Structure 1
Amino acid sequence: MKYSLTSLLTAGFATTLSATAFASEETQTTLNAYAAGYKANFTCSAVFNAGKSTAQIEEDELTGIYPLIADAVHQLDASINTQQRWVRVAYDDGKRERYSVWRPRLGCVDLPVGAGADSIKKVHRPFTKDTSAQPDSGAPWQHHNGVNQATGNPRLDAVIKQAFSKHYGDGARTSAVLIATPDKILAEHYKQGFTPETAQRTWSVAKSIGASVIGAAVQQGIVTTKQKAGLENWSHPLDPRQHITLENLLHMSSGLDSNKAGNRTDRVYMGGGLVSDTATETALEVEPGSRWKYANNDTMLALRVLREAMASEEDYVKFPYTSLLDKIGMRHTFLETDWQNDFILSSQVWTTSRDLARLGVLHLQQGEWQGEQILPGNWLDYISEPAPAQPPENAPGYGAQWWLYNERFPELPDDTIAARGNRGQFLLVIPSENLVIVRRGYDLAGQQGFSEHDFARDVLRALKRD
């Protein structure tokens, strides 16, 4: 039974739509701005978050682009300012330009269309120290098998070798595999040019990171999952959106109109738009909680609920780091924001395989880390509970910003949950096996992507026979 991300995307969660589907909505000038923004952001993040060369960027980040803008992206040139850490891309025959500006801890922020070089100095920089410049400590694991080393289990070694081939999907291009328990990294392998400190974009794995940030806020009593979203934009007494709860947003059941493809939020992702100008402005389509629909906006809105519950913008921007990431050693993780410092935690996170594994271990430990309760003690149960409204039966189930490999997948333990992202990003947490499985990739669009289900099944079989 194969349920790869690619097959699910073609079943209704498509990351690509034809250019003609959007031609009536976007002018050519806007599409050109999107292409320039895409190239500026990915170049900026890959250079300054991940230390990649231009050749690596062309091979990895600038492949698998939406057909809507792919040709235009490749026709544009990126100018990289390595001293001030920003990237400029001119478009429309040089008449217009887009900028993406790097900040410590927060990665690259895209300036809005119309912002010029004089706007760079206005970018807010709440952090001054770049923790990603330090080598990964290897904590909390007491034992490490060794990077790119044989595991001592020939069956597991064979499965890992398959992961770096086309075995799990014709379009699979694996960049990293990491398998760990809370005590030991059992296997850690990278493609050539990658190290444990090489960050990569998570795409929608970010949603599960975002849920973890919400969990930390619940633990501290800042928000509750049952509360009304309470967003200022929805405060009018005639506005039915005031009935949307934070839990509705976590369950992908806000009922809001998120267009035909809810995972296409181009205005925010590459157009320099704001979360507050886009996600909060959509109208209600159906009753909150009555329909499951995958929507980037629901994730961004969940984090917006947290922002409006915080005392200040500064408190909000620093909260994920001081309350979650730094506590568990995720120091090579960049949570990118829009230019008004709303986190785009539906997709725009750059992190390493080890940092993702640390998040998985935190969940295996019921939200506790070195004696401190960072997430609520029942948080794993909460995110693993099937939401009232569920995806179609040909897909994994859904909890709170995590996918569920329950009885729909008989070859995996029913308590398997996963964070899943475009181009083959996966973090699987299997509590009954006390195991975390991370796979990163640059899978090709239009081809069968990496089957995380089959890979996890084979890993478990290899470990049980050890």
Structure 2
Amino acid sequence: MIRTMLAGAALLLAALPVAAQNPQAALQARHDRALAAGYKALMLCSGMAIAERNGAARKPESVAAWELSGIQAPHDALIGALPFSIKRRPSGQISHVSVTWADDMPARVAGYFGPDTGCALLPIGADPEVSNVGSRMRPAAAPNPPGLPLLSNDAGLSARLAAPFARAFEGGFGQGTRTTATLVLTGDTLAERYAPGFNARTPQRTWSVAKSIAATLIGAAVQEGEANVDEPIGLNYWRSGGGSDPRNAITLDHALRMATGRYSDTPGNRTDPLYFGGSSVDETAINWPVLHKPGTVFRYANNDTLLAVKAIDNWLSFYPPHEFFAKLGMHHTVAETDSRGGYILSSQVWTTARDLARFGQLYLEDGKLASGERVLPEGWRDYVSRPSGPQPTTGTFGYGAGFWLMNKEPGVPADAFSANGNRGQYVVIIPSRQVVIVRRGEDPPGAGFDIGAFTREVLAALDN
């Protein structure tokens, strides 16, 4: 079945404004529309298909109201007018989403390739029905995953946390912020609250919380003896001139600590060609040049996480992320890939608040499951939360290995560390208090959620 939004189609096909007639400006405007269309196709595909995978439901209007509103420029001014269509398989499962962006080019297409890897954005012109988009992706109808993790809501805990939760949803921790979920886990009991239209099965994109998930998967590879953080990554196509390429000195530790010394185009390294352009991890993130000696300069960059994941790519082909998530009870989490099957673990994971609580709980237990099985090396929690590398020169957060450090936040225990993501995704882990705090949102640019203040108020409520 195809549903098509026609509103704004005339705007799409209209001539470029006078200001864009300059050749470079016209080219940039065209590129912006292509990226906006890719953004829309992927968000609609992932937001709807993964929700349905989880036994939830989302309509295009919901994705438009949350994931596709209040986004970064210039996409925010373009995305609403781009017509889209959703094609479903005979089973009713989403096949792909197409978004029209130019009258002389094929639509941007994001295809749903199965319950383990979700949706992938295809290169412009690729046909989702015939494309061989990677051996890790397989079209298949999938039953809903097992039930929710065995966590129980506690009425007393919910009452104690009612005030900070209410403030989170009312913008009390940042003007203009938009909270979709709050959750506090202590022991096996939790308190949670959701925005209308969201529930415990509704997935959202993690954005850079995925970097912490990537660091955890690398920890699992280390535990299995398949990786060593102190050894050079040593990708073969850097082996030129007798190994003289300085990038050969980059270790997994450098990449996890945002200290490879490589150039990145913008602070934070938006990586739009990969996220919304349809390129692959290899094409976009791997071959940037070195400007500083590895291990000497902090430069937060998606490319460093993608490089770290590339180092365990072979291991992931045998032990993919969904198998690790299942061990943790994270049955509603999907790590997506590019169109060639490369995991985009710098941003592109979809998960629920409860699954993020389970993720945090693994670190409270220092990498051991309730069964006693160790899935992360002993001391991995200390490793990822240790500021042993170069540190950010701005802000109040330090950086460990794939996690942010809250040791400078007043009123927050010194051992607190967190997974942080764009648009207000947070997982705060406090081992000394045996507490995990999750906040999810869709905050617009310039509307920052004060996770430090929220953490302080949650801890104060727990003490009452």
Q: Which residue of 1 aligns with 2:31?
A: 30
Q: Does the C-alpha gap of structure 1 residues 44 and 153 become closer, same or farther in structure 2, counting only changes over 3 Å? A: closer
Gaps of 5+ in 1: 1-18
Shift of 1:65: 1.8
Instruction: Give the residue type in structure 1 aligned to 2:382.
Output: D
Matched residues in 2 for 1:257 and 1:28: separation?
Answer: 26
Q: Does the C-alpha gap of structure 1 residues 159 and 226 become closer, same or farther in structure 2, counting only changes over 3 Å? A: same
1:203 aligned onto 2:207: yes
Range with bigger deviation, 285-294 or 45-54 = 45-54
Determine if contact 2:259/2:299 at 8 Å carries over to the other structure.
Answer: yes
Q: Which residue of 1 aligns with 2:9?
A: none
Shift of 1:114: 2.6
**RCO higher in structure (CA 8 A, sep ≥6):** 1
Q: Which residue of 1 aligns with 2:445?
A: 445
Range with bigger deviation, 92-101 or 419-428 = 92-101
Instruction: Give the residue type in structure 2 aligned to 1:339.
Output: S
1:72 aligned onto 2:71: no
Secondary structure at 1:151 match in 2: helix
Secondary structure at 1:228 match in 2: coil
In the TM superposition, what whole-angstrom CA distance separates every residue of 1:32-67 from its partner, at most 9, and x where no partner exists? 221111111001011101231111011101012221
Q: Which residue of 1 aligns with 2:118?
A: 107
Matched residues in 2 for 1:420 and 1:208: separation?
Answer: 8
Shift of 1:320: 1.9
Instruction: Give the residue type in structure 2 aligned to 1:364.
Output: L
Shift of 1:453: 0.5
Q: Among residues 176, 182, 185, which one is paired with 1:177 in the alignment? A: 182
1:288 aligned onto 2:294: yes
Matched residues in 2 for 1:31 and 1:108: separation?
Answer: 21
Determine if contact 2:239/2:245 at 8 Å carries over to the other structure.
Answer: yes
Matched residues in 2 for 1:107 and 1:151: separation?
Answer: 37
1:192 aligned onto 2:196: yes
Q: Does the C-alpha gap of structure 1 residues 152 and 253 become closer, same or farther in structure 2, counting only changes over 3 Å? A: closer
Matched residues in 1 for 2:111 and 2:138: separation?
Answer: 14
Determine if contact 1:101/1:120 at 8 Å carries over to the other structure.
Answer: no
Question: 1:4-23 to 2 correspondence within 5 Å?
Answer: none
Shift of 1:394: 2.6
Range with bigger deviation, 250-259 or 232-241 = 232-241
1:151 aligned onto 2:161: no
Q: Which residue of 1 aligns with 2:172?
A: 167
Matched residues in 2 for 1:132 and 1:437: separation?
Answer: 30
Matched residues in 1 for 2:181 and 2:402: separation?
Answer: 23
Shift of 1:123: 5.4
Q: Which residue of 2 aligns with 1:16?
A: none
Shift of 1:135: 5.6
Determine if contact 1:417/1:429 at 8 Å carries over to the other structure.
Answer: yes
Q: Which residue of 1 aligns with 2:411?
A: 411
Secondary structure at 1:32 match in 2: helix
Matched residues in 1 for 2:461 and 2:74: separation?
Answer: 42
Q: Does the C-alpha gap of structure 1 residues 131 and 418 become closer, same or farther in structure 2, counting only changes over 3 Å? A: farther
Percentage identity across aligned positions?
A: 41
1:89 aligned onto 2:99: yes
Q: Does the C-alpha gap of structure 1 residues 94 and 331 become closer, same or farther in structure 2, counting only changes over 3 Å? A: farther
Instruction: Give the residue type in structure 2 aligned to 1:450.
Output: F
Q: Does the C-alpha gap of structure 1 residues 455 and 194 become closer, same or farther in structure 2, counting only changes over 3 Å? A: same
Q: Which residue of 2 aligns with 1:234?
A: 238
In the TM superposition, what whole-angstrom CA distance separates every residue of 1:171-206 from its partner, at most 9, and x where no partner exists? 211111110023211x11111111111000111001
Matched residues in 1 for 2:365 and 2:143: separation?
Answer: 25
Q: Does the C-alpha gap of structure 1 residues 85 and 410 become closer, same or farther in structure 2, counting only changes over 3 Å? A: same
Determine if contact 1:136/1:196 at 8 Å carries over to the other structure.
Answer: no
Q: Does the C-alpha gap of structure 1 residues 127 and 358 become closer, same or farther in structure 2, counting only changes over 3 Å? A: farther
Q: Among residues 37, 54, 59, which one is paired with 1:53 in the alignment? A: 59
Determine if contact 1:105/1:131 at 8 Å carries over to the other structure.
Answer: no
Determine if contact 1:262/1:297 at 8 Å carries over to the other structure.
Answer: no
Range with bigger deviation, 255-264 or 381-390 = 255-264
Instruction: Give the residue type in structure 1 aligned to 2:30.
Output: T
Q: Does the C-alpha gap of structure 1 residues 132 and 25 become closer, same or farther in structure 2, counting only changes over 3 Å? A: farther
Matched residues in 1 for 2:209 and 2:262: separation?
Answer: 22
Matched length: 429
1:428 aligned onto 2:428: yes
Q: Which residue of 1 aligns with 2:216?
A: 212
Secondary structure at 1:259 match in 2: coil
Determine if contact 1:178/1:353 at 8 Å carries over to the other structure.
Answer: yes
Q: Does the C-alpha gap of structure 1 residues 126 and 259 become closer, same or farther in structure 2, counting only changes over 3 Å? A: closer
Determine if contact 1:172/1:443 at 8 Å carries over to the other structure.
Answer: yes
Instruction: Give the residue type in structure 2 aligned to 1:176.
Output: A
Question: 1:112-123 to 2 correspondence within 5 Å?
Answer: 112-120=123-131
Shift of 1:81: 0.9
Matched residues in 2 for 1:399 and 1:179: separation?
Answer: 23
Determine if contact 1:211/1:400 at 8 Å carries over to the other structure.
Answer: yes
Matched residues in 2 for 1:355 and 1:170: separation?
Answer: 27
Instruction: Give the residue type in structure 2 aligned to 1:259.
Output: D
Q: Does the C-alpha gap of structure 1 residues 132 and 439 become closer, same or farther in structure 2, counting only changes over 3 Å? A: farther
Instruction: Give the residue type in structure 2 aligned to 1:161.
Output: A
Q: Which residue of 1 aligns with 2:363?
A: 363
Matched residues in 2 for 1:361 and 1:400: separation?
Answer: 18
In the TM superposition, what whole-angstrom CA distance separates every residue of 1:66-106 from its partner, at most 9, and x where no partner exists? 21222221110111012252111121126321110112221
Q: Among residues 240, 247, 251, which one is paired with 1:245 in the alignment? A: 251
Instruction: Give the residue type in structure 2 aligned to 1:230.
Output: G
Matched residues in 1 for 2:394 and 2:105: separation?
Answer: 49
Gaps of 5+ in 2: 1-19, 52-56
Q: Does the C-alpha gap of structure 1 residues 366 and 27 become closer, same or farther in structure 2, counting only changes over 3 Å? A: same
Q: CA RMSD in A?
A: 2.1
Shift of 1:130: 6.9
Give the structure-2-normalised TM-score: 0.88
Q: Does the C-alpha gap of structure 1 residues 132 and 389 become closer, same or farther in structure 2, counting only changes over 3 Å? A: farther
Instruction: Give the residue type in structure 2 aligned to 1:159.
Output: P
Q: Does the C-alpha gap of structure 1 residues 346 and 453 become closer, same or farther in structure 2, counting only changes over 3 Å? A: same
Q: Does the C-alpha gap of structure 1 residues 62 and 292 become closer, same or farther in structure 2, counting only changes over 3 Å? A: same
Q: Which residue of 2 aligns with 1:12?
A: none
